[in-house]
Chains A and B, each alone.
Chain A
């Protein structure tokens, strides 16, 4: 893996088709896309345009029907289940629209989880978890359970969990869809800061205008195809 000379993500002619009865439904059609290290990029488009499908392929949760998707030097279409799990464990962070916190765990334990999987020592874990919670401003809630948190707080915990291991790439599927304006801005500012301070690459899917004003690059999907790909001047942050 050599991420300095190669782009972080390189999709070539990626096609995703789902079987539908006797024919196929094409969710992604011949996607060519390159994302460099440190980008803060959003994928926008109407519902059903293929945003989640694209993020899932980049996140090695799914594989393309055709074409090649290289992420951090790994060809997703060739990864075994186990190798994909290892890639996600070591290098990727995920943020979901519905937060997906583990309900029986405390805030601290939720954020600690990826580090447990990495087999880090208790001391290392403690330091990294506290750092991550500080980044998102939640050090006073470490003992709370997800059920006791507001939506904004939950999503901040989810962000801390995604970034705690300092992954190369964070994939966020509609991270603000369940949040009000104030919380959305709060979260985006946190991510912009982490993007700048840690150099982490962020790739969003969204149709939230509030998100779009923070983006430095906006890719628009329409019916599984890239319609536009524009460089943006961020207004927020």
Chain B
């Protein structure tokens, strides 16, 4: 308690240098917390969007289906029967069928995923109903990314070539009847959506599907023999991993800031131990032990962290509250970020995030403050009093 009191007097008494350190350190406090919240908000927003548009209440995959291996698509389809059929009939699930296809936009050749979806489905917030409005033989909808990369517009025709269940190639023109916009690039990039029954007959796979998407809000996912259940945890795992890796990449910036702040504090400590030799000698003459001196200087350094946390809270809180309510307008380019993010990010700050980051910075500051003080352990009172530089 005594040392805290003395340290507080010293830190406040040191004036400008203290405030410079405290300002730099508080900047890194606020940046770290702001960035963490941004990534968390990004993750929640992406998860939310993916749930709305793609995963709903979870999915059942054909056992052979592997989203990272297009060659598995050829084998990953099976009839929807038994329990699966009953779930579909009850409106608890919808079947979706995938196949690999070749497309010929503007005379070029490119590959795409052809996906069949029941147009009348309401499980996902996906504009499949647009497929109902057309009288064209094979209506199709695509996302804005797909439309942009292949220069497609509503009304355009696109030749699609595929292999049916027997391995026979066939081709047909689809008409783009709608272009939808979504932040979930995994239902957009490289994909063409057509009515499920049309795709089943084109592929000669009547009543078959690659996966089933479950309705949201079911308390227990039903057991569907022959299908592998993939809960949201599994489906979102990739996203979370990606957010974490972005987070690590993004943290370089604020680690640099923190490093600068710590450097300033380390420098201040080294300097003050060097400059305040005589003061230390005086304190020792008055009966302070070396251990107390080390404690005093460490607490002085740690106090920069405490003051920075207070200062950061002073200007950081309104800033962070403002961002959390108004969101953060993102420039266009971040659409290529790798995963779904909205044009407006709403950061998410949890109590634990703020507390955790604060404790982490405080601990680091204290350790950095302690390191230079170990020299005091060898300090002789007579040398200190003479202000001799050893």
Contacts and interface: CB of A to CB of B under 8 A. Distances in A.
Interface of A: 56, 59, 61-62, 81-82, 85-90, 94, 96, 98, 100, 102-105, 109, 113-114, 116-117, 119, 161
Contacts of B286: 88-89, 94, 113-114, 117, 161
- Say whether chain B's binding surface is mostly helix, strand, loop, or mixed: helix
Given A56-B382, A96-B385, A104-B14, A119 B289 contact: no
6 contacts: A61-B284, A81-B289, A85-B288, A89-B288, A104-B10, A114-B287
Interface in B1-25: 2, 5-6, 9-10, 12-14
A96 B5 CA distance: 25
A111 to B, nearest CB: 11
B381 interface: yes
B282 interface: yes
B290 interface: yes
A46 B248 CA distance: 67
Nearest to A82: B289
Contacts of A105: 9, 13
B66 interface: no
A116 B6 contact: yes
B285 A61 contact: yes
B279 interface: yes
Interface string B114-152: 000000000000000000000000000000000000000
Given A85-B288, A114-B287, A117-B287, 13 more contacts: A61-B284, A85-B284, A88-B285, A90-B287, A96-B282, A98-B278, A100-B281, A100-B285, A103-B279, A104-B13, A105-B13, A117-B286, A161-B286
Nearest to B15: A104
Contacts of A119: 2
B287 A85 contact: yes
A86 B13 contact: no
Contact of B285 (A82, A90, A94, A98): A94
B8 to A, nearest CB: 11
A81 B294 CA distance: 14
A60 B185 CA distance: 76
A139 to B, nearest CB: 21
Given A59-B285, A61-B284, A90-B287, A109 B9 contact: yes
Contacts of B13: 103-105
Contact of B287 (A89, A98, A102): A89
A61 B289 contact: no
Interface string B267-296: 000000000001101101111111100000
A104 B9 contact: yes
A116 B286 CA distance: 11
**Which residue of B14, B278, B279, B285 has the most chain A CB atoms within 10 A of its CB atom?**
B285
